[in-house]
Structure 1
Amino acid sequence: MDIKIIWSQYQASLKAFLHSKIANPSDVDDLMQDILIKTHQHLYAVKEPSKIKSWIFQIANNTVIDFYRKSHASQNVEVGSLWYEQEQTQVITELAGCVKPFINALPQDEAALLTAIEIEGISQKEYAQSHDINYSTLKSRVIKSRKKLHQIFNHCCSFNIDSQGNLLDVTPKNNTCLKC
């Protein structure tokens, strides 16, 4: 893997990503340089060339977070004003809209169960009580429904997940998959 080829391939999209998160163009240039250095220093750690894109963007995301943390330490910035704090609710709402068609592909009772628990945020105990279901039975049903949902996802897309289980990248396997 050649750093020059990799950098030329992703430089423009990285810069666009940084501009969407950082207002000052000179800060963007500084962060681009930091990302290039980190990429060059740790490129040996990437074993699969297909994972380069998600790896570089994870470096970029972490670099932006570090940038805001450093500026937060030197300024009194409210935590609520940071982009990575503000977007969490919005991202969850957007992702729920994308997951909903997949959940709806399940049998009706399983779809209703996962919609209530995963999308609406109702606790499993609360759901079990309101539907007069034994709590341990409900837990088993949730696990079974999640496995079926996972099978639907895997049939449709390839997922790149980091060591902590965070989703890094999704690639559709074909054009017939459910869309959000």
Structure 2
Amino acid sequence: MQIEDIWPKYRARLKAFLHSRVSNAADVDDLLQEISVKVFTGLPDLKDPARLQPWLFQTADRTIIDYYRKSGRAQAHPDDLWYHRDNPETRQDLEGCVEPFIRGLPAETADMLMAIDINGMSQRDYAQAHGLSYSTLKSRVQKGRAELRTAFEDCCNISMDVRGNISDVQEKSANCKKC
């Protein structure tokens, strides 16, 4: 495994992951670069290629925790952070399903969600590139995400914990093969 083969495949997803947890876009770019260095140095120690994706996102997760520790923005212990409590296996299982479900939405909605949620484009940049007001785009993203959730719920029973994190997913029927 070489970083030149891995980084192009996961960069956008890692950036979207960072955007969901860090509000400042400049900090996201800095953290992404820090993660790339960690991946470059740690990749030779990864023995099982099947564990690559969980390892990448665990590296990103730890980098975010370190970021909040350094900046003094987190008063809680890292184990108490809301995003640190989700089940990594469940998240990994669902990640492969998100894109097919998005592609099942109307084309305009699918393109928007792919650009913002999968490829990590900021909502402001997307709105500007498509000649939309930022508030209009925010409403469309919210509506698109609601449609995506409905698509998931039509095919899957999704169990949530008290904080709204996904704790388990069960397919409703064998007829639903979107992922």
TM-score by length of 1: 0.49
In our comparison, the structure showing a higher alpha carbon Rg is 1
